[in-house]
Structure 1
Amino acid sequence: MDNFLPEPELTDAAARLYDEDLADNGYVMNLSRLWAYQPDTLAGLFELVGGVAEGGGLTPRQRAVLVAACASTLGDSYCSLAWGARLAKAAGEEAAAGVLRGDDSGLEAAERVMAAWARKVARDPNGTGPADVRELRAAGFDDRQVFAMTAFVALRLAFSTVNDALGALPDAELRAAAPPLVRAAVTYGRPPATTA
């Protein structure tokens, strides 16, 4: 078993979650087998995360920067592989691997400020200060976007925390599909499952 909890009884809501995975990925993800205990909670969380991102006008690339930076800071190998692969498509494999290692030199200037903010929020939210917010503003972000970035990272951290605390291993298929430099950069967190 690739989670600490056994797979729950298959309810209609869990079956829909599994069917979505099969349609999108061709396999049922380990995290879905975990969230099958409360599929409606997962749907509500993702709806909230999406609403926060849309309300702040965060682009898919910006979302990938934020998640890759916060997941790698937390040591979440699952989301690092998934979102590192997304960032690689948007910004290039070297830039994505860099973000996962804490090197943002491959990003645009405003994205570097976003990544630094995501890491601060993930590492020590009580350690942030007005100067950090001024830096985000200086990079061109308005207060609505600063709030959205912060709430987005916090919600993603909640998702990662549940997955990591309950032992969800990154899927073997997820690791295999990630670009080589992204795979090489994810040297932390739970090791991927070894079999599909």
Structure 2
Amino acid sequence: MAQTALMTFLAEPPITPRIQALYDADVASYGYVMNLNRAWAHHPDAHDALFDLIGAVAREGGLSMRERGILVTACASAMGDSYCSLAWGAKLARESDPAFAAAALGGAADGMTDAERAMATWARKVAADPNATTEADVQALRDAGLADRTIFAVTTFVALRMAFSTVNDALGAVPDDELRAAAPDEVVDAVTWGR
């Protein structure tokens, strides 16, 4: 999947101090302005509010970075979102190893704890068809050691990540060349969907 000249389907808005702050934060964190934030520049306060909420839910649920990586890669790959699959596949590779991250993107649960396996399965079900989940699916999370409060946090985290992915995907955000270059080969090779 080669990068195209078009970074999103939207024209970039005129630079304001608030938009420049969004871009500056990207440069400080990643060394470049992410394509997806060229779309979110149309409402940077929505971007920040969404990520404040995602962070609060993850903290409330006690989700480790590895668990977040498993949830996002399961969700993003089930949705066919290449951007978050690449970004979080690389993060998960740093928390575990590249082969583990690639396997998680492909739906394999090798090397996962019972709780991680249950969370990945749940994230895929929520992303694929939230109306098809059952009480037995929730019980499987309990059986893996998750309390109801954590199940709520995991579900909300996945739903909020789906909202973020949906905006990026619908508006045509193309994964950055820099993102691909920084991801392990195993992760890049595993992501065969999306833009």
Q: TM-score, normalised by structure 1?
A: 0.95
CA-CA distance at 1:115 after TM superposition: 0.3
Structure 2 residue 26 is the aligned partner of structure 1 residue 11: no
CA-CA distance at 1:91 after TM superposition: 1.8
Structure 2 residue 21 is the aligned partner of structure 1 residue 21: no
SS in 1 for 2:121: helix
Residue 76 (structure 1) aligned to one of 73, 81, 84: 81
Alignment of 1:1-196 (within 5 A): 1-190=6-195
In 1, Cα distance between equivalents of 2:137 and 2:76: 20
Structure 2 residue aligned with 1:193: none
SS in 1 for 2:71: helix
Aligned residues: 190
In 1, Cα distance between equivalents of 2:11 and 2:44: 15
SS in 2 for 1:23: helix
Structure 2 residue aligned with 1:194: none
In 2, Cα distance between equivalents of 1:11 and 1:45: 20
SS in 2 for 1:41: helix
CA-CA distance at 1:103 after TM superposition: 1.2
CA-CA distance at 1:108 after TM superposition: 2.0
**Runs of 4 or more consecutive aligned structure 1 residues displaced over 6 Å after TM superposition:** none
The letter of the residue matching 2:40 is W
In 2, Cα distance between equivalents of 1:55 and 1:11: 34
Q: TM-score, normalised by structure 2?
A: 0.96
Higher relative contact order (CA 8 A, sep 6+): 2
**Structure 1: stretches of 5+ with no match in the other structure:** 191-196
Contact 1:84 1:182 in 2 (8 A): yes
What value does the CA root-mean-square deviation take over the aligned residues? Answer: 0.7
In 1, Cα distance between equivalents of 2:45 and 2:176: 22
The letter of the residue matching 1:174 is L
CA-CA distance at 1:109 after TM superposition: 2.1
Contact 1:3 1:168 in 2 (8 A): yes
